[in-house]
Amino acid sequence: MNVRAGAAARPALTTRPQWLALQRHRDQIKARHLREIFADDPARGERLRAEAAGLYFDYSKQRVTDETLRLLLDLANACGLPQRIAAMFSGGRINTTEDRAVLHVALRAPRGEHIEVDGKDIVPEVHAVLDRMAAFSGKVRSGAWVGHSGKRIRNVISIGIGGSDLGPVMAYETLRDYSQRDMVFRFVSNVDGTDFVEATRDLDAAETLFIICSKTFTTLETLTNAYAARAWALKVLGGADADKSGAVAKHFVAVSTNVDEVRKFGIDTAQMFGFWDWVGGRYSMDSAIGLSTMIAIGAENFRAMLAGFHAIDEHFRTTPFERNLPTLMGLLAIWNNNFLGATTVAVLPYAQYLKRFPAYLQQLTMESNGKHVTLDGVHVDYETGPIYWGEPGTNGQHSFYQLIHQGTRLVPCDFIGFCQALNPLGNQHDLLMANLFAQSEALAFGKTVAEVKAEGTPDALVPHRVCEGDRPSTTILAERLTPHALGALVALYEHSVFVQGTIWNIDSFDQWGVELGKALAKRTALEIASQKDPELAHDSSTNALIRRYRRLRGGDA
């Protein structure tokens, strides 16, 4: 059932009494510095925190009081968050513009759970695919799966883009410590030939397995790279461009929902790992799209990651909102974005293995919540998704943190850290974590004029050395960076995005904006490839750029 069908349009968000109450409240407390808020409520660091699935979530350094939280929770209830959660978990078609259920939570449902789409329990299918993935990845890892010439597979190259790439790359980088170290894992996404050439230049095609990941199997970048891979492999394995020797069967597998297109490419459907239209691309790293992850870390670790996802799913579904991590995280994002005027969120993992986590989150958060109309098609009169970005600490500290400390913009930060080192080296982990704690403290409390003066600073330099503080942050702390912890962390952000989308009353699961550029690129590619001078009917800037490019690009233009 389309959950919007027949439903009355929701009242405008900004006219809701709960929204207006939050605005009034903001006006009352906005002058209160975090120093003051902590002074009035010294134990808030032990109170404004929540814990689930091994994640400790400290939001006491956000610019909120108990009253702010109460009002935010009122807003969540008024916007129907409980009903939306129930609709998502029960397979309601909440992606209304594509008329689809949104059931990434089913990807990590334990065997035996029951989730229906159109009257059919989908959990057995999920586990059937997981079992096939486990069998296949076991063969590749053990060397039982050999290439066309009988050589063991040593290299796995996953080709995909967007949700069919960012999750696998991030998961591989994050869980590298758990990966099979005698194998090489690479990822190709960009249609820039450099990506493919650099990923393959030192590899032997006879030892290389390609996983072609594409939900639709029609994405220009992925198909272009997949054909390049086929040609590259067949040159060594099968001669020419045609798969006369049957080498593709040993060196290519597909992950997709599109059986016909996979066949057309030349991959036998016996070597296809399926998923379903109720899995959004950016919510798919725990589906078969994660096949490279499973080959890298093994099925047991992959299942531990799924258990981490599921632990947060259950927490989100069943825990009262005042202790519910994704709900709190989503509501704090609403507070910072819509009431304190922040336009961005910095994600700052103090774990080198999480270096691709901000990039992963960019798609998850911004493709989901970068929307300008409500579910009813009405232009919003409030800001929606903020801009997510970040770098691992401590590198960021020596780069952009200056702006966060003393710039004029409000940049709420998510600090992420782990208590145990995966690579203990002297006291380096203690130093790393000391930096995390120091940064969130410095951002919140800053350094006053009096403190700067007390250090004997010359008067002229005092304003330069003052750090105003009052910069909000959340700290997420886990014991150790395990597959389980990664699953929990990703699910936390997924559901936080959902909470925000629910408040904004937008469709967090479509991505129509990406389509316009794709269509224009197709037309422009034909113009660029044209033998004759093409008639260009773009604007004068685009026409001139294309002409100049055709003139200077060399080759056969």
Identity of the amino acid at 464: H
216 part of the interface to ligand F6P, by CB under 6 A: yes
Rule CB under 6 A: choose which of 68, 219, 394, 502 binds ligand F6P.
Answer: 219
Which residue among 67, 398, 515, 522 is the active-site one? 398
Instruction: Provide, rounded to whole angstroms, the least separation between the CB of residue 162 and ligand F6P.
Output: 3
Q: What is d(CA 263, CA 270) in angstroms, rounded to the nearest whole number?
A: 10
**221 versus 414: smaller Cβ distance to ligand F6P:** 221
Instruction: Provide, rounded to whole angstroms, the least separation between the CB of residue 186 and ligand F6P.
Output: 18
C-alpha torsion angle, residues 26, 29, 33, 36 (rounded to 10): -150
362 part of the interface to ligand F6P, by CB under 6 A: no
**Residues paired with 52 in a beta bridge:** 55
Instruction: Provide, rounded to whole angstroms, the least separation between the CB of residue 197 and ligand F6P.
Output: 21
Maximum pairwise Cα distance, the chain: 80
Instruction: Provide, rounded to whole angstroms, the least separation between the CB of residue 164 and ligand F6P.
Output: 4
**164 versus 440: smaller Cβ distance to ligand F6P:** 164
Return the range that interacts with ligand F6P (CB under 6 A); candidates 103-111, 214-222, 497-505, 532-540: 214-222
Q: What is d(CA 64, CA 72) in angstroms, rounded to the nearest whole number?
A: 10
For residues 151 to 190, the per-residue mask of contacts with ligand F6P, x marking binding by CB under 6 A and - elsewhere, is ----------xxxx--------------------------
Cα separation values, 432 from 252, 397, 447, Å: 41, 11, 22
Which residue among 173, 367, 494, 527 is the active-site one? 367
Phi, psi of 152 (to 5 degrees): -65, 145
Q: Cα angle at 137 between 133 and 142, to 5 degrees?
A: 155
Q: Give the three-state DSSP class for 218.
A: coil
Return the range that interacts with ligand F6P (CB under 6 A); candidates 18-26, 32-40, 212-220, 480-488: 212-220
Q: Looking at 446-512, list the stretches that DSSP marks H as alpha helix, in order from N- to C-terminal side.
A: 449-454, 462-465, 483-504
215 part of the interface to ligand F6P, by CB under 6 A: yes
Rule CB under 6 A: choose which of 158, 222, 338, 368 binds ligand F6P.
Answer: 222
Instruction: Provide, rounded to whole angstroms, the least separation between the CB of residue 499 and ligand F6P.
Output: 20
Q: Give the three-state DSSP class for 529.
A: helix
DSSP state of 380: P
Residue partners of 307: CB distance under 8 A and separation at least 6? 108, 484, 487
Instruction: Provide, rounded to whole angstroms, the least separation between the CB of residue 256 and ligand F6P.
Output: 8
Extract long-range pairs of 442-445: CB within 8 Å, 24+ residues apart: 442/405, 442/467, 442/469, 443/61, 443/404, 443/405, 443/413, 443/469, 443/471, 443/472, 443/473, 444/34, 444/35, 444/38, 444/61, 444/469, 444/470, 444/471, 444/472, 444/473, 445/34, 445/35, 445/38, 445/469
**359 versus 536: smaller Cβ distance to ligand F6P:** 359
Element (H, E) at 45: helix 44-47
**161 versus 366: smaller Cβ distance to ligand F6P:** 161
**65 versus 219: smaller Cβ distance to ligand F6P:** 219
Helix H, strand E, coil C: the string for 54-107 is CEEEECCCCCCCHHHHHHHHHHHHHCCHHHHHHHHHCCCECECCCCECCCHHHH
Q: Name the residue with the smallest CB distance to ligand F6P.
A: 281
Q: What is the footprint of ligand F6P within residues 80-99 (CB under 6 A)?
A: none
Rule CB under 6 A: choose which of 298, 338, 511, 527 binds ligand F6P.
Answer: 511
Rule CB under 6 A: choose which of 62, 174, 189, 214 binds ligand F6P.
Answer: 214
Return the range that interacts with ligand F6P (CB under 6 A); candidates 13-21, 208-216, 409-417, 539-547: 208-216
514 part of the interface to ligand F6P, by CB under 6 A: yes
Our answer to whether residue 398 is catalytic in this structure is: yes
Place of tokens 């002229």: 460
**378 versus 514: smaller Cβ distance to ligand F6P:** 514
Instruction: Provide, rounded to whole angstroms, the least separation between the CB of residue 218 and ligand F6P.
Output: 7
Q: What is the footprint of ligand F6P within residues 238-297 (CB under 6 A)?
A: 281-282
Phi, psi of 399 (to 5 degrees): -130, -85
Contact 73, 322 (CB under 8 A): yes
**275 versus 350: smaller Cβ distance to ligand F6P:** 275
Which residue among 120, 264, 372, 518 is the active-site one? 518
Q: Which two tokens stand for residue 96?
A: 């209304």
**219 versus 301: smaller Cβ distance to ligand F6P:** 219
Total binding residues for ligand F6P by CB under 6 A? 14
Q: Which residues of the shown chain bind ligand F6P in the complex (CB under 6 A)?
A: 161-164, 214-216, 219, 222, 281-282, 367, 511, 514
Active-site residues, by number, are 367, 398, 518
